[in-house]
Amino acid sequence: MSTITTKDGVSIFYKDWGSGQPIVFSHGWPLTADDWDAQMMFFLHHGYRVIAHDRRGHGRSDQPSTGNDMDHWVEDLAALTEHLNLRDAIHIGHSTGGGEVARYVARYQERVAKAVLVASLTPNMYRSENNASGQPPEWFEAIRAGVLGNRAEFYRFVPENPFYGYNLDGAKPSEAIIANWWRQGMAGGALAHYATVDSWLEDYTEDLKKITVPVLVMHGEADQVVPFASSVPRAVDLLKNGSLKTYPGYPHGMLTTHAEVLNPDLLSFIKS
């Protein structure tokens, strides 16, 4: 099993497959590198080197009591890219991983060729005077309560309902997809998953403003976790070289439910 050890002694698990230009994937909450299986296999077969890690506190990485915050996650990612000596890399982040990618690229742009923010929380996802479409305070508290309560039960509710849009009219839930989400979530630590909510209350505006490399923003218009109007238009406006790709009816977890559509779109952007 491939791991690196961070400066503060945390073991970070990662996958590193293939050769060619590297594509680095940052997963969402409360998942693992496994959530990128469909993308990693697709790009591996298109001649790319694909890399994904389990964020600290998640999956096969250590579960420390400290450092479960965005700045530590970004430094962990930087330690991994330095360890692997990655240059000219494409960074793709989903949801919470979008915040990780945005801040990483803002700080380590010399290593990056392009970036993609998929269903990302950037620039912010909380409701305010400037973001009337954001999630209200009680939404974040419900997530915290779910983690503190019966986490195993809560981790069935999330994929059965808002994450993949299976609660919408006409949706056809996949038990296998729901179970795989549950498997990944329960492999991680409750402490890190609880602390992650703080990263959803951060503002990533200044990170986006610093990015000059091309960035593709991809978002489903039926996203119930990071509402489309909450972040997407503002993110593209803040980026110096941003482009937007929207998907009517697609949910937050569209990388899994609609991989056959998103993967070719990702490839087109990377090759452009």
Task: Indicate the average pLDDT of the chain.
Answer: 97
pLDDT of res. 230: 86
pLDDT of res. 212: 98
Rounded to whole angstroms, the Cα distance separating 134 from 127 reads 4
For residue 252, indicate whether it is catalytic. Answer: yes
pLDDT of res. 80: 98
pLDDT of res. 223: 97
Of 95, 120, 199, 230, which residue is the catalytic one?
Answer: 95
Q: Is the pTM of this model over 0.75?
A: yes
Long-range CB contact pairs, 103-107, < 8 A, 24+? 103/70, 103/71, 103/74, 103/204, 103/207, 104/26, 104/74, 104/77, 104/78, 105/207, 105/211, 105/213, 105/215, 106/206, 106/207, 106/208, 106/210, 106/211, 107/74, 107/78
pLDDT of res. 233: 82
Q: Which amino acid is at 269?
A: F
User: Using one digit for the tens of pLDDT, what is the confidence trace for 32-76?
Assistant: 999 999 999 999 999 999 999 999 999 999 999 999 999 999 999
For residue 61, indicate whether it is catalytic. Answer: no
pLDDT of res. 51: 98
pLDDT of res. 1: 80
Query: In this structure, what token pair is assigned to residue 184?
Result: 């990944």
Give me the mean pLDDT over the 159-183 stretch. 97
Residue 231: pLDDT over 80:
no
Give me the mean pLDDT over the 116-134 stretch. 95
Single out the residue of 112, 1, 67 nearest to residue 102, CA to CA.
112
pLDDT of res. 151: 98
pLDDT of res. 98: 98
For residue 237, indicate whether it is catalytic. Answer: no
Single out the residue of 22, 51, 243 nearest to residue 113, CA to CA.
22
Of 35, 62, 207, 223, which residue is the catalytic one?
Answer: 223
Q: Which amino acid is at 145?
A: A
pLDDT of res. 121: 96
